């Protein structure tokens, strides 16, 4: 079932309503992001799981054949060498369901976004 049609209210709901093929990897990416962004708030933004402090750090989504990961264009640019074997767009990466989730890469990208968040916010607090 399409999670957007069922209107999940939490990330747990989103995963429960996601295509069966993607649920295990959705749980795995959620755990990875949660550990890499301590204290980040979990919510749904535009119908997708999101982790934020005061701004969105990363989002992800489950599909029948892949997991979409949305860490912003700057993160894709910073990790472009590591992403050559994945399908990417301006601000997204597709991780195929038939291959192991690149947890170490997801962790590094999420940590990069956390670092950028605090660096950029420091400028505004000074």
Q: Kindly list the distances between the CA atom of residue 20 and the CA atoms of 27, 61, 71, 119, in Å, as whole numbers in the listed order.
A: 12, 13, 24, 38
Q: Which domain holds residue 111?
A: 3-121
pLDDT, block means (10 residues), the chain with 126 residues: 68 94 97 96 95 94 96 94 95 96 98 91 53
72: left (phi over 0), alpha (psi -120 to 50) or beta: left
Name which of 1, 3, 19 is nearest 11 in CA terms: 3
Name which of 24, 33, 31, 115 is nearest 69 in CA terms: 33
What's the pLDDT at 126?
43
Q: What CATH number is attached to the domain comprising 96?
A: 3.90.1150.200
Domain annotation covers residue 71: yes
What's the pLDDT at 120?
78
What's the pLDDT at 118?
86
What's the pLDDT at 7?
83
- What token pair was written down for 67? 């997991």
Give the number of domains in the chain: 1
Domain annotation covers residue 126: no
Q: What is the DSSP letter of 81?
A: G
Domain annotation covers residue 79: yes
**Residue found by looking up tokens 């597709």 in the block:** 94
């Amino acid at each position: 079932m399409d999670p957007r049609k069922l209107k999940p209210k939490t990330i747990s709901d989103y995963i429960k309503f996601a295509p069966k093929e993607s649920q295990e990897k959705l749980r795995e990416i959620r755990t990875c992001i949660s550990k890499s962004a301590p204290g980040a708030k979990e919510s749904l933004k535009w119908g997708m799981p999101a982790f934020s402090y005061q701004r969105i750090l990363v989002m992800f989504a489950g599909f029948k054949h892949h997991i979409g990961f949305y860490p912003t264009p700057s993160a894709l640019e910073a990790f472009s060498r590591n992403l050559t074997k994945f399908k990417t767009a301006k601000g997204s990466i597709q991780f195929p369901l038939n291959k192991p989730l690149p947890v170490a890469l997801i962790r590094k990208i999420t940590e990069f976004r956390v670092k950028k968040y605090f660096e950029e916010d420091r400028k505004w607090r000074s």
